[in-house]
Amino acid sequence: MKEWYDIEDNFMKHKDVISQLVFENGVTGDRQPLVTVAIPAYKRPGLLRDAVDSALCQEGFRDFEILIVDDYPSEDQEMQEYLSQLANTETDIKIRYYRNQRNMGMGGNWNRCIKLSRGEWVVLLHDDDMMCADYLKKVLPVAIKTNCSLLGTFSYQMNLLERSGDRRRYTRRLEKNKALLQKIRRSHAFYLKKRDVLNFIQPSPGCWLLNRRQAIELGGYDASRIKNGLIDGPFDFKNTYHKKTVILPQFLFTRRIKENDFLNPEAQEEILDGLFRYLLHYAERYGFPGKLAANVSTLNFARGMKAKYNAEIDTKAILKAGGGIHS
């Protein structure tokens, strides 16, 4: 059975799939950018437009390129119209758009984004997320100083409430626990320590800054470990296990959420079971009381997700089925 901390080359799984360069703007120059803002896309041109705009509006740092990798093999009229708009956008930022000739799935497309990036650092910006204008200006100096492999921040959340024609209304809120951690840490960056992992002190999922070379060494994202789409968590835990994770506890991007895969009962069982085994191994490796620490940590995580997404979760039943909590 594969575990979350195992390393294998996931980039090779789709080596036969060609990503065709469909569009690049007129910005010239062969100099390699320090950062690539890589956006994996799939059939959401409206949301993608907001993600790209948030990158173009970065303040105080312009040494980056924008890379879009579309995992929808067929031509899309709305996307073609958007590419025409990009062609007429005045900017000093290089923009490249690739289309995969065959659908690779979420994990494969995220890995292709890393491979096609030219920057030493890669921001993996999901096509439904948006960077704050000072994101790059704040995270790059920290990443370089700490020599980390993954730098995460905190996110605002915009929950879709209702639609009125083409108008969408969102609520924007902070996660209270992350706001408290920001206050305690005085917004200063810190390395994730062993005990932090068991206490589920983690960056918000999405918009992570990755060291490209080290992400490739880790083998990239593995969608086969989680069949229900939640693949960023296992990569984060794998990175923390083998490399250096740094959190900058500031709210520097926005996630747009309508529904979460964790609401799926099958996903709950799969995620919590994999998480328990990871934490059990992690706790035993570093001298914590293994099963007790893994039980408590996994149960706390499940309860937190239950409250966060208002989910119907029988946490103890799931953990028992997965070999976790025992009476």
Tens-place pLDDT, residues 225-276:
665 556 888 899 899 999 999 999 999 999 887 655 556 667 767 777 777 8
Residue 312 has a pLDDT of 67
Q: How confident is the model at residue 167 (pLDDT cuts 50, 70, 90)?
A: very low
Residue 157 has a pLDDT of 78
Q: Please choose, from the candidates 161, 179, 157, the residue with its C-alpha nearest in 3D space to the C-alpha of residue 170.
A: 161
Q: How confident is the model at residue 97 (pLDDT cuts 50, 70, 90)?
A: very high
Domain coordinates of the chain in residue numbers?
A: 11-258, 262-327
Question: Is it the case that residue 161 has pLDDT exceeding 50?
Answer: no
Q: Which residue has the higher pLDDT, 188 or 272?
A: 188
280, containing H or E segment: helix 265-285
Architecture of the domain whose range is 11-258: Alpha-Beta Complex (3.90)
326: its two tokens: 């025992």
Q: What is the DSSP letter of 126?
A: -
d(CA 176, CA 252): 15
Residue 35 has a pLDDT of 98
Residue 327 has a pLDDT of 39
Which segment of 7-16, 232-241, 266-275, 317-326 scores lowest on mean pLDDT?
317-326
How does the average pLDDT of the chain come out, rounded? 84
Q: Please choose, from the candidates 19, 20, 55, the residue with its C-alpha nearest in 3D space to the C-alpha of residue 37.
A: 55
| Residues in Cβ contact with 9 at an 8 Å cutoff, skipping those fewer than 6 apart | 219, 220
Residue 127 has a pLDDT of 93
Average pLDDT, integer, range 300-324: 63
Percent of the chain at pLDDT above 90?
Answer: 47
Task: Scan for tokens 């902070």, then name that residue.
Answer: 174
Q: Tell me if residue 22 falls in helix, strand or coil.
A: strand
Q: Which residue has the higher pLDDT, 81 or 216?
A: 216
Residue 281 has a pLDDT of 83
Average pLDDT, integer, range 146-161: 85
Percent of the chain at pLDDT above 70?
Answer: 82
- The pTM score is 0.88
